[in-house]
Chain A
Amino acid sequence: MSASPVAPERVDDEVVRSIVDQVWESLLGSPAVDWSGPPDRLRSATTVLTAEITLTGDWTGMVRLTCGPATARSLAATMLGAGPGEVLLDEDVEDAVGEVVNVVGGNVKGTLRGSTSLGLPRVAGGAGHGVGPHPGTTGLLLTWEGEPVLVEVVPDPDPPEQDTPAPAGHQDQPPTDGGRRWTS
């Protein structure tokens, strides 16, 4: 008989902050700086890009990065060391933001008790309406080249019953926001 699912605990703010600080320094070469502009800037955006990676097992939830399409392109250019004016493919931009959530997600996984598997990143575009952070999540609203970047650790409020742990590297369900595959 499987155990009744228990809502996963919220991941500590300071833990997420420490992880994001290290990831920003390593992948982007600069410290993670807090956004000081209007807090609803992303929520009111027409189009945002969202990269997600899920964690399943004793803790179930996801790590999510949300930003504008141009910000995603700028993040990718920095990660790739692209020169001024160098044109990036959409797949490279998606790859880059996916890798950011992959690294943050892997490090979050390392702080969790029990057994948890990390999925593969998924990237999608959509409207800004509904963008967090929401109560019960850990959210960092950062700035990159004058635009906001939201990094969230979102516990699943309704985790599935766990008979056996999910296999590592399995492909996850499509984004719940029904986001379409992003193109520029």
Chain B
Amino acid sequence: MDIVIADDSRVMRQIVLRTLRQAGFDHHTYVEAVDGADALDKIGATGPELVLSDWNMPNMSGIELLRALRAGGNEVPFGFITSEGSPQMRDEAEQAGATFLIAKPFTPEAFEQALAGILG
């Protein structure tokens, strides 16, 4: 299963990958994207089963990416991994079509809980 990870921080992408493995999700193929625009291209090219995205990114933010996907009819499961986990952000994420929002700093347990029903 392909999973796209979008974050303008390479360090954070590595931390997300490490945490996914710690949570037991190490048998998937991960595609990294450096911002929302890059993620949109790679989602179109790879047809992933899940998108994990930061919110605040240059060129195209995570919320802009999600809205572009939904506007284009792409219903791929989408989760935010972001430093901004306020109730308002969670509402906005849900309204835009996100399945979940994991707030940074996160734990492997948070990933297990959010992804178990999606990745199995």
Contacts and interface: CB of A to CB of B under 8 A. Distances in A.
Interface of A: 22-23, 25-27, 76, 79-81, 91-92, 95-96, 98-99, 102-107, 109-110, 118-120, 168-169, 171
A79 B104 CA distance: 14
B15 A23 contact: no
Contacts of A80: 11, 14
Contacts of B8: 120
A25 B105 contact: yes
Nearest to A88: B11
B113 interface: no
Nearest to B84: A106
A27 B58 contact: no
A102 B9 contact: yes
Given A95-B9, A107-B85, A109-B84, 7 more contacts: A22-B105, A80-B14, A105-B83, A106-B56, A109-B86, A110-B84, A171-B58
Contacts of B83: 102-107, 109, 118
Nearest to B82: A106
Contact of B11 (A26, A95, A118): A95
Contacts of A171: 58
Interface residues on B, range: 20 to 34
B107 interface: yes
A138 to B, nearest CB: 18
Interface in B1-44: 8-12, 14-15, 18
Contact of A76 (B11, B55, B56, B82): B11
B12 A99 contact: yes
B68 interface: no
Nearest to B9: A99
A165 to B, nearest CB: 12
A26 B105 contact: yes
A30 B61 CA distance: 31
6 contacts: A81-B18, A95-B9, A106-B82, A109-B84, A168-B55, A168-B56
Nearest to A98: B9
Nearest to B105: A26
A124 B104 CA distance: 24
A23 B18 contact: no
A92 B107 CA distance: 22
A171 B55 CA distance: 14
Nearest to B87: A110
Contact of A102 (B10, B56, B86, B106): B56
Nearest to A121: B9
B84 A95 contact: no
Contact of A95 (B10, B55, B58, B104): B10
Contacts of A110: 84-86, 89
